[in-house]
């Protein structure tokens, strides 16, 4: 049976869960109240750090789900995303609009990746 491991865990959630060679990250958010650009950069920096902790990187992302508080911010978020995704390694991706935890959050990024 493949082991499930959890990292950076509290009573509510884990930031990283691994099952075999698959890595699941919790939704990552940026600095509350910052611009969409800054919040996206913050989210992706957290994704990078968590993937490194789990033994992977952004070339190994299988799937990303992005939630925006307002789809009017789609182009601004995509400018940051497009610069971050390594050429030739774009994952499957979905992006939708959702009411996030507080109005100060504009972007949340959820990632599933393979271990490097």
100/64 Cα distance (integer angstroms):
17
The mean pLDDT of the chain is 97
How confident is the model over 50-82, as pLDDT tens digits?
999 999 999 999 999 999 999 999 999 999 999
pLDDT surpasses 90 at 5: yes
Tell me the pTM: 0.96
- Domain 4-114 in CATH 3.40.190.10? The answer is no
Is the pLDDT assigned to residue 99 strictly greater than 80? yes
* pLDDT score of 2: 83
CA Rg value for the chain: 14
What is the structure's pLDDT at 1? Answer: 72
pLDDT at 31 over 90: yes
């Amino acid at each position: 049976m493949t082991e499930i491991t959890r990292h950076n865990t509290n009573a509510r959630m884990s930031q990283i869960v691994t099952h075999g060679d698959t890595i699941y990250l919790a939704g990552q958010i940026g600095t509350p109240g910052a611009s969409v650009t800054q919040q996206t950069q913050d989210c992706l920096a957290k994704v990078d750090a968590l993937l490194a902790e789990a033994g992977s990187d952004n070339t190994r992302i299988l799937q990303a789900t992005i939630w925006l508080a307002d789809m009017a911010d789609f182009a601004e978020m995509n400018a940051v995303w497009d610069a971050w995704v390594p050429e030739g390694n774009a994952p499957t991706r979905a992006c939708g609009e959702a009411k996030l935890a507080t109005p100060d959050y504009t972007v949340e990024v959820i990632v599933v990746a393979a271990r490097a």
